Each structure stands twice: as C-alpha cells, then as structure tokens.
Amino acid sequence: MLTDMHIAIIGGDARQLEVIRKLSELDGKVSLIGFDQLDDGFAGASKHSFHSVDPKTIDGIILPVSGMSEEGEIESIFSGEKITLPEEWLKEIPAGTVIYTGISTAFLKKLAMDHDCKLVELVERDDVAIYNSIPTAEGTVMLVIQNTDITIHNANVIVTGFGRLGMTVARTFRNLGAKVEVVANEPELRARAFENNLTAYPVQELEQKVKHADIVINTIPAKILSVNVLAKMMPHTLVVDLASKPGGTDFRYAEKRGIKALLALGLPGIVAPKTAGKIIASVVTDLLQEQWETK
C-alpha cells in the first residue's frame, strides 16, 4: 500500500487515468496538475495547480510518457493551459525526489540533476518496452492495412532491428502470413531470428534487399533508411518508422521519390490507451512501493 505517500501526476493523456486509478486503489495521496478538464473523479485524487500543492510534501512526480520538451513544456490532453514546472516550486522539492517519465530529454535530465532529483525513464526499462511492443505491433498492423492495397499475407516485409520491439513486430507479421526478413548487425540477434525461422542479414546488405520489399518497418533509432536505401525501393513500398523521434528514415527523400513513409510514434497510447496505461501503472506502482518501503 502507498498510504500517506504523496504523488504529483503532472499532465498526460488517457494512459495516465489508469495510473491515477491504480494509485488511488493503493491509498496514495494523488495530486493532479494539468487535469482541469478531467471529468472523471477518483477517490484519493484531487485536481490542483502548482500553487495549491506544497512541494515540500511531494514523495514522487509522474510525468507523461512523452516527458518534457526541450522547452520545458509538459503535454496534457486534459488542460487547455501551457504546463511548465515553476522554478520556485522545484526549488522546494525534497532532495532525492523521484521523477518518473516515459522518455527523457536533455532539458529534463539537467532539470533533475540541478534539483537533486532521481530520474526514472520507464520506456528504457526492458519490461515496459516488451509489454509496449504488443500494442505497438498491433498498431503497426493497423497502419499497414490502412496504407496498402495488398494483404499482409504473402507480402514481403523487412523489419530493421530485432530487439525488444523488432522481435515482436517480426513475429506478428510472420504469424499473419507475411514473408519476413530481419536486419540486425549483432550476430546474436541474427541467431535469434534464425531460431525464430526468420531470414536475417546485417545492415550493409539492406540496400540490395529492399528492392523486393512491399513493407519496411524500422525500429532502429539511427538513419538506417538513407537516400541510398530508399533509392532502391519500389515506389509502392510502405515505410513504417517506429523508432524514437526523428526516426531512422530520410523522410525528405522518401517524399521526393513518392514513397509513403510514416513516423509512427506513441502507438500504444493511440491504439490501446487503457492497456498501455495499465502497463505503466503496474510498473510505476511497483517502483513507488519499493521507494516507500525503503524510505
């Protein structure tokens, strides 16, 4: 239980509702900032502004999956106001306060360091990334169906990267009947692809292999789909880039060639916000309980 633990949830989307619900069930004291347009009521949770929450009483801060921009802004679909952390409020937060965020930026990392806060990036955790790969893969299937005029069954699909996300995506498309190839430089990942009955090859071979691809799905956060690679693709090839912003595709050149290339960020929150929220809620509450028990 989180009885008497004070958690500030600042901004977010529908995924945060599951976090609020879970924390309330565990008897935490939850202050919601940036939720002035939220209609749902949660026992144990109350809407506030920064000025109505005493920062000295805060035990933990939960930011959205999108974290904080380089300009210091925090997104919230539940508020029409611009949300930024006031400097005078931050100065009063107890040293060692844990800030939980989905992803981080240089701005947020510096802010946490300057105010002696511990920063936990949830999306970097293996458990969160693997759980999130499921709705991401389903969302990718949705995008492919919406943006192609062929079936996934028997389509030639290339998945670049065979990590926590790439593995799930490749398996999902294989199970739908696609002919899937995997791109990975690491020998151990190519071995794992082979064990999954998937053809695999290193990045340097991609330029030649894309000539027959109907669909290319990128999960590598580096410029994998360069001008040279895109130049070898067929005009009807669909690119779905799942890598973190700015992705691994030269979108300018893809547009010039008439290749449809989609940067698909935040698919779990789009296609399955309830499930994605439960994933975050489960991990965050476990971490908060550990933090509370060791205080």
Kindly report, residue by residue over 16-62, the tens digit of the pLDDT. Answer: 999 999 999 999 999 999 999 887 667 778 999 999 999 999 999 99
Q: Which of 77-81, 137-141, 148-152, 161-165 has the lowest mean pLDDT?
A: 77-81
CA distances from 3 to 25, 288, 289 (A): 10, 11, 10
Any idea which fold 6-124+273-293 has?
A: Rossmann fold (3.40.50)
| CATH architecture, domain defined by 128-264 | 3-Layer(aba) Sandwich (3.40)
Residue ranges of alpha helices (H) inside the chain are: 15-25, 87-90, 106-114, 126-147, 164-175, 187-195, 206-209, 227-231, 251-257, 267-271, 273-293
Question: Taking the C-alpha atoms of 90, 292, 130 and 219 in order, what is their torsion angle to the nearest 10 degrees?
Answer: 20
Return the pLDDT at 235.
94
Return the pLDDT at 281.
95
Residue ranges, comma separated, of all CATH 3.40.50.720 domains in the chain are 6-124+273-293, 128-264
Q: What is the pLDDT of residues 87-131, one digit of tens each?
A: 899 999 999 999 999 999 999 999 999 999 999 999 999 999 999
Overall average pLDDT of the 257-270 stretch:
95
Q: Where does the pLDDT of residue 198 fall: very low under 50, low under 70, confident under 90, or very high at 90 and above?
A: very high
- Asked whether residue 288 carries a pLDDT value surpassing 90, the answer given is yes
* Placement of tokens 């690679």 in the chain: 229
Q: Could you give the CA distance from residue 262 to residue 245 in angstroms, rounded to a whole number?
A: 12
Return the pLDDT at 18.
93
